[in-house]
Every structure is written in C-alpha cells, then in structure tokens.
Amino acid sequence: MVTIFSQYKQFEITGGLSNFRRLTESAHRPHQGYVFNDSDVYKWLEAASWIMASQQITELEQLMDNVIDLIARAQDRNGYINTYFSMEHSAERWSNLAEKHELYCAGHLIQAAIAHYRVTGEKSLLNIAIKLANHIDFTFGPNKREGTSGHPEIEMALVELFRTTGDEKYLTLVNLLINRRGHHLLGGSEYLLDHLPFRDLEVLSGHAVRGLYLCSGATDVALETGEDLLNKALNRLWKNLVEKQIYITGGVGARHDGEAFGRPYELPNSRAYAETCAAIASVMWNWRMLQMDGNARYSDLLEWTIYNAVLPGISLDAQHYFYENPLLDDGSHRRKEWYACACCPPNICRTIAMFPGYIYSVSHEGIWIHQYASSIVKIELLTGTQVELEQDSNYPWEGNIRIRIKNVNPKNFNLDTQELREEFSLFLRIPAWIGDESIRLSINDEDYGQHSASGSYLEIRRNWKAGDEIKIWIPIHVRYISSHPYILENTRRIAITRGPLLYCLEQVDNPEVVIPDTRIITKETPAIEFDPSLFGGMVKLILSAKATIIEPIWKNKLYYPLQTERGIKQGKPIEIVAMPYFAWANRAPGAMEIWHSYE
C-alpha cells in the first residue's frame, strides 16, 4: 500500500494531476512535464484497480474516483483526450505519431479502464475509454487516415477492449495499425520498427520497450486470429531475443543511446541500460506467448524476469526506483524517489499488483499453475465447475510447496454419490533451472514419483475433490552460470544462481574485500544461510574465494610488456557473501558485481 499512495503524492507534486485539472479551471496554467505524462496517471489507475481486486481500501477507492472524474471532465465531446494537446497545442493533434505518444497514452487509458471495469463492475472509466477508442477508429480506421503508433501500447489495449466489449472493429483497427508498419508512415525508422513489415522482421532493433510492446500486441492479435505467419514471426523474434539479446538478469535493452537493443551479444555490464519498463514489457510478452501453446519456456522466463529484472527496479521500502539496471557498479548508482520521465515507477506498481494474474490460468483440460507463491484462488473451469485452490510455500527460498484443493463445486452435481468431485487436470510447472535434477511429488501423502522433465508442465488428471493435497519438492541448489564467448566482458567469469534467483556480491556484505579483486572457488560447496534480519528474511550464500593482489608494478602503469611473473597474485583464502540481486542498493553504497572471476 505504501507504493500506491506515495505515487499519488508524486503526481500531485510533479503536475500529473494538475494537467487534468487545468482543463476545467478558469485560470490557465501550462502543461507540466513530458508530452506523455498522462500515461503515468493511467498506469497508476490500473495498478490501483488490480490492488482493489484483492482488498477493499476506502481511501484508495476515493482517490480513484476523483482521478476518474478529472479524466471525464477533461475529455472532449468527440472522445479525444490528451492534456498536452487539449489547449495550447490543440492544432497539433495527431500531427506527429512517431514522437508525440498520443496513441500510447490512449492505450494506457484503455488498459486502466478495462482493469477498473473488471474489478469493480463500474463503467465510469470504461465509457471514457470506449468513447476515445471510437474516436481513434473514426480517425485511423478502415479507409481513414493512414497512421500507426510511434510508441506501441494501443495495440494491446484495443485487443483487450475487443475481448471486453465484443466489438470487432477494435480488432480490425489493431490489425491495421500492425499492418501499416514497415511502409514508412513513421519515416521508415528502424528505431521505431517501421523499416520492414512486422511479419518480415528477423530481429528486434531500436527502442526496447516499444519493440516488446509491439510484440505483445501482435501476440494478442495472433491469439485471436490464429494467423500462422504472425505466429512464425513472433517465435522467430522471441528465439533471437533469448539467444542473443538478453541479460542474465532477464533485462533487455543494452544501450543508453535511445534506450535500445544492441547488436547480437552486445551486453555490457556497467553500461547496461536494461530499463525496468523493458523488463516489464518482456514479462507481458512472455505471458502472451505462454497462452499460445502452453510452453513452459515462457513461464520460466517470466518468473526469472520478475525476480531478477523487474524487482530490482523498486526498493525494499517500496518508494524508490531504478530506471536502468546495471550488472556492475562502483556504488554510485542509487534508486531515486521519482523521475522527470516517470514511466517506470507506476509501471512496476501495476506489474506487482497484477502478478496474481500470472500464477494460474485455465484451459479446456484444467488448471495451470505457472508460478509458485502462497495464494488462495477461486477458478471457474470452462465447464462451469468452480474450484478453490490454496498454495502454501516459502518459495523461492525453499522448494517445498503444498497445493490443497479447498473446494470443488461441479456444475453438474452428482445426486447419486453426493460427492463434490470432478475430473480435470492440474498442470504443474517443472522449472527449467533445476537442470537434470528431478522434482518429487505426493498426492494425499501417497508417493507420486520423481519427474525430471525440466522446463515443462507435469499433467495430473484425476477426479479431484475437496481436501485433496499435492506436495511438491523442488531441488533448489546453487548453480554457476557461464555466458556465450562472444559476450567479451564475461570471458572466464561466472554468475551465481540459486533456484529462480540471481545473486550478486555487494560491498556492504564484504567490507574487507575489494569486490572486483576476488576469485570464487567453485569446487567448494557454498554455505546457505537464511538470515531473518535481512529485509524480513532472505537466503544469503557464503562462498569460498581468494583475494587477488594487484602487483605494485601497476601502480603507475596502464600497459606493460607481457611477462608471466608480472600482473596479479593470489592472496589467502577468504569467505564472501552473496545476496539476491533484486535486493542490492538498499543499504550503504558500495561496489556490486554479478559476473565474477573464478577457479
């Protein structure tokens, strides 16, 4: 709750809300902030809506109603709404789709409206969104103006609006927006993915968030249409991304210049951009790809990205944020309370708020359990049967998980047996990170064997009834990861993982050590220690290492003729502490690294 209320205060301080108020007040005030500032308010509204799905908070509900009222009063009669273009810039509407973010802002409003409607059942914001979407369709629909979005987002929103209202014109419009790309409506820019038709793309280039949002919207279209050519393009782009363009964290977007993807294997550590919004976009795309074929590789990457690329973007006090996320730092990179370009803070807020929606899904066969997290869920199967599940675990610190069926309410109750039970499947994800190890299961305390198909789903089909219980034991061990030889900064270096978590060395845990001057001894088994004093309880790793001593000859030299006896020496054995990467930079500033020398 701290995050959602503190972000509202930031909108009051930085002008996000006054941009709406000025449109209904007699005193003229200039627009504050970037042209796309409205979108951050909409992301906040979406986050607040998802929070209200699990708990009723009167104060938050009142704030939401106030913001919705501001938006309603700021909307033009024809449906247009964008506070930057509503007064002094009104003559510029729709004049610069490549750079001015009008469609992008509209997309976030529509997504917020759908979330609000699904949670509350109220149409106050949904009606605003429909009116806006109809205006956009009137402007850019079939046989209308040839235009598309410079910053994708509207594509996902319109598909979701189609799903919500059943009005096919929104799906038709999305197809048009995607099909118009690659025809130089945005100047033929590779940065904006306008250089080739989407279905011809071989690799993602340009602005990372835009590219991944576009892929998310295209996946939504493919889910609705089943188009094979679109599916092939999406799979090709995903494969290239995970094989050549993604950090060990799951972060994407290597370049500060343009917040962009780099060349294949261009993944610098200290200069990593890895924008928090790009990680969130990756989560959104993987969730949609997962719906295509149920392949666990998408839920594996989604989990990894949430823990290691999204969560680092917010502090453990829930009020400070990273925009970019380096993998190597000297202690100077710290989270900020807010940014002038504040896209990441409300984006991470809505992502955390909607995380419960990533845990489960349903199909004709039954219930899929994609993520392991303590939770209670009520699910309606496609047959109409209602099932209530409870999941209990201390994941990701431990791999012991209990799933209990609390209730089964079949649509067609068996009057003869009087038993509330029905046959359906439970699909349990076997994480890819267990490698060649196996998980163990029991059902109602009867052994169900070991299963080693990592990176897949285990289907258990039976007549389930209330009280049935599954216990899962997932092996969570420390693993050392190396990288592709073409990633030159990581040559002869390793990263440390345990379960779904990436670990790092941070100076505050190793005050007597020069972090870059250590070599991890991989043949020694790390000690695993749960420390309840660390941020409410975390598992830290204690590893054997050796200190590297830089010889005195290098004190005043940058280069020297190669001689084997000159360079570095190994010092005495030491112990070093590694902590989860998502928790770094929450204490005293100091060096941090993810890739380490080793022996």
Q: What are the tens digits of pLDDT across the range 186-236?
A: 999 999 999 999 999 999 999 999 999 999 999 999 999 999 999 999 999
User: How many Cβ atoms are within 10 Å of 413's Cβ, its own excluded?
Assistant: 12
Together in a domain, 463 and 498: no
The reply to whether 353 falls in a domain is no
Together in a domain, 512 and 415: no
Together in a domain, 454 and 523: no
Distances (CA, A) of 57 to 50, 119, 366: 12, 13, 33
Token pair, residue 46, equals: 């979406």
Compute the average pLDDT of residues 348-367.
Answer: 97
User: How many Cβ atoms are within 10 Å of 79's Cβ, its own excluded?
Assistant: 19
The reply to whether 176 falls in a domain is no
The reply to whether 510 falls in a domain is yes
Token pair, residue 203, equals: 């690799």
Helix 168-179 crosses helix 124-140 at what angle (to 10 degrees)?
50
Provide the CA 268 distance to its chain's centre, in angstroms.
21
Q: What is the pLDDT of residue 26?
A: 64
Residue 80 pLDDT more than 70? yes
- Per the prediction, the chain carries an average pLDDT of 95
Residue 237 pLDDT more than 90? yes
The reply to whether 374 falls in a domain is yes
Together in a domain, 366 and 467: yes
| Residue 243 known to be catalytic | no
Compute the average pLDDT of residues 474-486.
Answer: 97
Together in a domain, 457 and 561: no
Q: Which of 259, 324, 506, 593 is catalytic?
A: 259
Q: Write down the residue that tokens 């609705």 correspond to.
A: 224
Confidence tier at 412 by pLDDT (50, 70, 90): low
The reply to whether 405 falls in a domain is yes
Q: What is the pLDDT of residue 566?
A: 60
> Which of 473, 499, 519 is at the close of a domain?
473
Compute the average pLDDT of residues 121-140.
Answer: 98
Q: Are strands 360-362 and 366-369 parallel, antiparallel or unpaired?
A: antiparallel
In the chain, count of helices (H) and strands (E)? 13, 20
**Residue numbers of the domain that contains 453:** 361-473
Confidence tier at 1 by pLDDT (50, 70, 90): confident
Confidence tier at 413 by pLDDT (50, 70, 90): low
Helix (H) / strand (E) element for 293: namely helix 276-293
Compute the average pLDDT of residues 274-295.
Answer: 97
The reply to whether 489 falls in a domain is yes
Report the DSSP beta bridge partners of residue 439. Answer: 451
Entry pTM: 0.96
Helix (H) / strand (E) element for 538: namely strand 538-550
Q: Please give the Cα distance from 136 to 76 (Å, whole number).
A: 13
Non-local (6+) Cβ contacts of 562 within 8 A are none
In tens, the pLDDT along 261-277 reads 999 999 999 999 999 99
Confidence tier at 444 by pLDDT (50, 70, 90): very high
Together in a domain, 549 and 464: no
Compute the average pLDDT of residues 589-597.
Answer: 97
> Which of 473, 501, 534 is at the close of a domain?
473
Together in a domain, 485 and 587: yes
Q: What is the pLDDT of residue 27?
A: 62
Residue 530 pLDDT more than 90? yes
Q: Please give the Cα distance from 303 to 49 (Å, whole number).
A: 23
What is residue 422's three-state secondary structure?
A: strand
Compute the average pLDDT of residues 419-435.
Answer: 90
Together in a domain, 482 and 592: yes
Q: What is the pLDDT of residue 29?
A: 84
What values do phi and psi take at 283, rounded to 5? -60, -45
Distances (CA, A) of 492 to 242, 484, 552, 595: 21, 10, 24, 9
Q: Please give the Cα distance from 162 to 268 (Å, whole number).
A: 41
Our count of domains for the chain comes to 2
Amino acid making up residue 182: G
In tens, the pLDDT along 307-333 reads 999 999 999 999 999 999 999 999 999
The reply to whether 518 falls in a domain is yes
Do the beta carbons of residue 49 and residue 64 sit within 8 Å?
yes
Together in a domain, 501 and 564: yes
Confidence tier at 563 by pLDDT (50, 70, 90): low
Together in a domain, 550 and 484: yes
Confidence tier at 548 by pLDDT (50, 70, 90): confident
Token pair, residue 107, equals: 């997309």
Q: 214: exposed, middle or buried (C-beta count within 10 Å: 0-12, 13-18, 19+)?
A: buried
Do the beta carbons of residue 545 and residue 573 sit within 8 Å?
yes
Q: What is the pLDDT of residue 205?
A: 96
Q: Please give the Cα distance from 123 to 457 (Å, whole number).
A: 38
Compute the average pLDDT of residues 54-69.
Answer: 96
Together in a domain, 510 and 572: yes
Residue 558 pLDDT more than 90? no
Compute the average pLDDT of residues 355-361.
Answer: 97
Peptide bond into 346 cis (omega under 30): no
Q: Which of 105, 215, 343, 504 is catalytic?
A: 343
CATH number for the domain harbouring residue 441: 2.60.40
Confidence tier at 571 by pLDDT (50, 70, 90): confident
Token pair, residue 318, equals: 């829930």
In tens, the pLDDT along 160-186 reads 999 999 999 999 999 999 999 999 999
| Residue 259 known to be catalytic | yes
Instruction: Report which of 120, 99, 144, 100 is spatially closest to residue 46, judged by C-alpha positions.
Output: 120
Helix (H) / strand (E) element for 241: namely helix 228-244
The reply to whether 54 falls in a domain is no
Name the percent of the chain lying above pLDDT 90: 89
Together in a domain, 453 and 504: no
What values do phi and psi take at 232, rounded to 5? -65, -40
> Which of 473, 504, 535 is at the close of a domain?
473
